[in-house]
Amino acid sequence: MDGTVSVSATKTSDNSSRRLYVRPRGFEIVEVIPAEPLPTSTLSVADLFARHAELNPHAPCIWAEGGSWSYSRVAAQAGALAVGLHNLGVEPGDRVIVQLPNWPEFVVSTLAVAEAGAVLVPVGPNCSARELRFTLRNSEAAVAITAETWNGVDYLQRFENLLTRLPDLQYVVTVGDEDLWYDDRIFQFEDLIASGRGREIPPTEVDPRRDPCAILYTPGTTGAPKGVVLTHDNLARTALATAARLALDAHDRTLCVVPLPNIFGLTALLTTLGTGGALVLQETFDATGALALAREHEATVVHGVPTMFVMLLRALEQGRARPDSLRTGVIAGAPVGDDLVRDLRRRLIPDLESAYGLTETSPTVSITTRSDPESKRAHTVGRPLEGVEVRVLDEAGGELPNESVGELAVRGFNVMHGYFRQPGQTRKTMTEDGFLKTGDLAMVDPEGYLHIVGRLSDVILRGGNSVHPAEIEAQLRSHPAVEEAVVLGIPNDVLGELICACVITAEGALITADEIRDFCHESLAEHRVPDLIHFLDELPEASSAQARRVSLARMVRAEADRTRSPRRSPGKGARDRTGENANGGP
């Protein structure tokens, strides 16, 4: 059967309509639960998935390099893994690190942790060793699930070393084939699942509104990461509300090219499984491969940051075939140009929607819809989700009228419970009446559409990754040839922003831009290494650090056409053979 055939409509016990249809390619009849925001907090993340696994056990849940996984297979493995975790001593509320790429095992682990009543702490596989150690220490994770090796990194060795240093970390579970007989604290993923088959864990009572489901670490205002605590209700209800705006249902297939361990990836996962659809996983993003996967599996949905979509368009320009099945998706995670969105809708994804959100809001705050006027779809990030309030605040915290620019604040079911073990940071971010201050400058127009103007904070959004300058500045200042450094974001059509390091070298020091980047590579993740190095004699005078950053950003943009990244600085006050300073100035 190669088409979607409408069969009937029926009434359930609660009088809600459910449509029945036959899934293409011979799959059994699927019962569809419309994607609607939950009016009350009734579902945990495990329940969100389980209701579709019960209704449509043989429907496809995951397509990955190793083949397809049905809902029943994913449910069975997640249930068995939950038992295995329980047998290791994992109790409700315990934290479990999951550091895996876009593999089916990440999905299984996420559901198993939720079923066990534990708290998921997702960590990207490209996370640096230092960031991983901080996350493990701060979360006091009892168990970590990771790959043995991936992309040239020996995670097994890394975690073996950590087991001896972190008393809270009791067990490591690895996805791979190595025989781990030599250590009774390290288990193979498949072995742990096998130990739990045919058994059940004691019933776990989960209060969706109160109980944490996940802690996601995001850069803090001082450079130290903050653990964002999201409840089951935060994630489940926001996923369903987002899916409703996109009109997703069980015959949608989401091409997942964003990393599953970040909030955007979790959104792709939960909006898909929460509506009974299927995930098409790409292990690491590659534009040509993504288009091929979309064609092969007839993907209808794809989410991504602007960088990814630019690369998809470039792949089309190079002659790659366009997948006709793509229908909708979300572009977010970095500043988005109006021309890019229009081009994407015309050439690739007719109903691509712009959204605004952040980790602290699970993540969706607002999103455009197909029914919005074209001018609003092109120039705004839509209206807030139903049940989500937004305010625009002045510097004193007072509410501003429509069409005024100020700091955006958000209140609703999507707002986090707080930062893990950082009550001071939580109080600083939340108002007394429950609004989250986002640090973003915004304006609400008379029709209620949200316009994002800029950011109060210094966080750089590079290719969908949040990068805080303080961490990079500290690394730069630790080099003996660097006297001072200021890091800022510079707009870029592909990555959203580039990381620019403005460096003052020590007197008499000689250092090149490449040498600075190599030094940063020693301690920083790849996406935190500066793209541009701008050498200066001195920093501009300014009334504050923020004003200095603004002044530097203007200067760097003005000089971008003449000098992008000088190859060598002859040191503070020195001049090169042309009589000009190393930064190209007079």
Question: Could you read off the pLDDT of 528-544 as tens digits, one per residue?
Answer: 999 999 999 988 875 45
Three-state SS string over 538-570 comes to CCCCCCCHHHHHHHHHHHHHHHCCCCCCCCEEC
Which of 33-47, 90-104, 212-226, 454-468 shows the lowest per-residue confidence on average (mean pLDDT)?
33-47
What is the CATH topology of the domain spanning 460-569? GMP Synthetase; Chain A, domain 3 (3.30.300)
Q: What is the pLDDT of residue 565?
A: 44
Q: What is the pLDDT of residue 117?
A: 97
For residues 185 and 577, the model is more confident at 185
- Largest Cα–Cα distance in the chain? 84
Q: What is the pLDDT of residue 333?
A: 83
- The domain spans of the chain are 24-386+446-457, 460-569
Phi, psi of 8 (to 5 degrees): -170, 175
User: Distance (Å, rounded) from C-alpha 515 to C-alpha 241?
Assistant: 48
Give this prediction's pTM.
Answer: 0.80
User: Distance (Å, rounded) from C-alpha 139 to C-alpha 95?
Assistant: 7
Q: What is the pLDDT of residue 3?
A: 31
| Residue 575 pLDDT exceeds 70 | no
User: Distance (Å, rounded) from C-alpha 95 to C-alpha 195?
Assistant: 21
- Return the structure tokens found at 455: 């950011």
What is the CATH topology of the domain spanning 24-386+446-457? Rossmann fold (3.40.50)
Map residue 271 onto helix, strand or coil.
helix
pLDDT band of residue 35 (cuts 50, 70, 90) is low
- % residues pLDDT > 70 (the chain): 86
Question: Could you read off the pLDDT of 95-142 as tens digits, one per residue?
Answer: 999 999 999 999 999 999 999 999 999 999 998 888 999 999 999 999
- % residues pLDDT > 90 (the chain): 69
Map residue 293 onto helix, strand or coil.
helix
225: Cβ–Cβ under 8 A, 6 or more apart, which residues? 131, 134, 135, 138, 217, 218, 219
Q: What is the pLDDT of residue 66?
A: 85
Q: What is the pLDDT of residue 264?
A: 96
Q: What is the pLDDT of residue 34?
A: 58
Question: Could you read off the pLDDT of 248-286 as tens digits, one per residue?
Answer: 999 999 999 999 999 999 999 999 999 999 999 999 999
Which residue, among 70, 102, 67, 61, has the nearest Cα to 265 in the 3D structure?
102
186: Cβ–Cβ under 8 A, 6 or more apart, which residues? 156, 159, 160, 163, 171, 172, 173, 174, 180
